[in-house]
Structure formats: structure tokens, C-alpha cells
Amino acid sequence: MFNDIKLAIIGDAFVGKTCMATRYVNDIFIQNTNCTTGNQFKRKIVQIEDKQIKFQIWDTAGQEKFRSLAYLYYRSAIAVILVFDVTNRETFNNLHYWIKEVKAKGDENAIIIIVGNKIDSQIREVAYNEAYQYASIQCVQYFETSALTGEGIDKVFTYLAKQCLNISTCTCITKDIKSCVHKQTLIIQRGCCW
């Protein structure tokens, strides 16, 4: 069991961060959420084949007035889930701000992914291809989800769990999963275990 693998969910207010975490951990959708004012975490144990990972999922506040402490949580996260709302272009435009923040204040070896949420909605302002291309330029993976229907949610977290496990099954593993994330980068660059 890999304990307390810390994930942080960040992004603008109202994009659905809390709903995504609640959908994944409790498999429910809350229509009228309160905006997050502090930082709160949920735990979930993920089974991938014969291995287990215990995620600690930090749901941070997107509203500017509550944002100031969010970095305390993503600075030490193994993975950062950067969320925008596909029905709101401004939240997509603001990804620049968030990526800059994570790169400046987060762990340099953290896995970063971008998630476009609310794909159940008919009114879409950001096309899949545009977001995918943006993510490619930033060298990060792109996923789409609906916390309302649950579509795509498991895929996001399973991907991150597998990233952690790929690292951990490498023979060069150390006890510190964070240093393994760094080694994974090296493994990808070298094309083999070292």
C-alpha cells in the first residue's frame, strides 16, 4: 500500500473541483455546492491490479479571496489536477495563470494534468481539440469529465494512480515516491530503467 499520495485539485472558482472530488470519492453529485473557502481533503483507496494506493485528495478554493493559501497544498502534491469549465472560456484562458503558479510554487517533479469539466452541458465554449492542443503545448495530459454524470472521472484518477504505480514498480524505486516521480522523468528520457 502506498500511503497518502497527495493530489491537489486547483482552478478557477465554480469550475467543479469540489463536485469532481465528491463524485470520485462518494459517487454523488451535489447540485448546489457552497464555494470552497478553505482547503479540504478526502481520502480514497484505489486498487490497480494487485496494488493499492491511498490518495489524499486536496480540494482547494478557486475564489481569489480564498486562494492565497492554496499553494500550501499544491506545492507538496505529487500530482496537480488543473480544472477548467468547458462552458466558460474565461476559465480556460486562466489556465495560463494556474500553470505559471504550479510551475513557480509547486514541486518541480509533480505530475500535472488538465481537465475540462462539465462536458454534459450543451453550451460549450472550448472545443476538445483546442484544449487538447493547449495541453500538448504545455506537455501535459488532457482529460474531459462531467462530475454531474460521472463521465471521465475514474479515468482521471486511474491515470494518476497508474502513473504512481509505474514509478513504484520500476526496479530503481526508492521509498520516497516523490523522488520516484523525478526518476520517472529520467526513465522516460532514457527509455529504460536505470
Ligand X SMILES: Nc1nc2c(ncn2[C@@H]2O[C@H](COP(=O)(O)OP(=O)(O)OP(=O)(O)O)[C@@H](O)[C@H]2O)c(=O)[nH]1
Strand partners, 2: 53
Cα dihedral 144→146→147→151 (10° resolution): -90
Pick the closer one to ligand X by CB: 150 or 170.
150
Pairing between strand 79-85 and 2-11? parallel
Nearer to Mg ion, 17 or 118 (CB): 17
For residues 67 and 65, what is the distance between their CA atoms, to the nearest angstrom?
Answer: 6
**Residues in contact with Mg ion, total (CB under 5 A)?**
3
Least distance (Å) between residue 28 CB and ligand X: 11
Closest contact distance (angstroms) between CB of 59 and ligand X is 7
Report the nearest approach of ligand X to the CB of residue 145 (Å). 7
User: Which cell numbers in the block locate residue 19?
Assistant: 463536485
Distance from first CA to last CA of the chain, Å, rounded? 24
Residue 45: name its binding partner from Mg ion, ligand X, none (Cβ under 5 to 8 Å by kind): none
Q: 25 vs 187, which CB is nearer to ligand X?
A: 25
Sole binder of Mg ion in the list 21, 24, 36, 117 (CB under 5 A): 36
Q: Whose CA is closest to 154, among 12, 37, 49, 20?
A: 20
CB 77 within 8 A of CB 6: yes
CB of 15 to Mg ion, least distance (A): 9
Q: Which residues bind ligand X (CB under 6 A)?
A: 13-19, 31, 33, 35-36, 61-63, 117-118, 120-121, 146-148
Which range, of 36-44, 93-101, 110-118, 137-145, touches Mg ion by CB under 5 A?
36-44
- Please, what is the minimum distance in Å from the beta carbon of residue 19 to ligand X? 4
Give the closest residue to 7 by CA, choosing from 168, 171, 158.
Answer: 158
140/148 with CB nearer ligand X: 148
| Residue 22 CB coordination number (10 Å) | 18
Residues forming contacts to Mg ion in the complex (CB under 5 A) are 17-18, 36
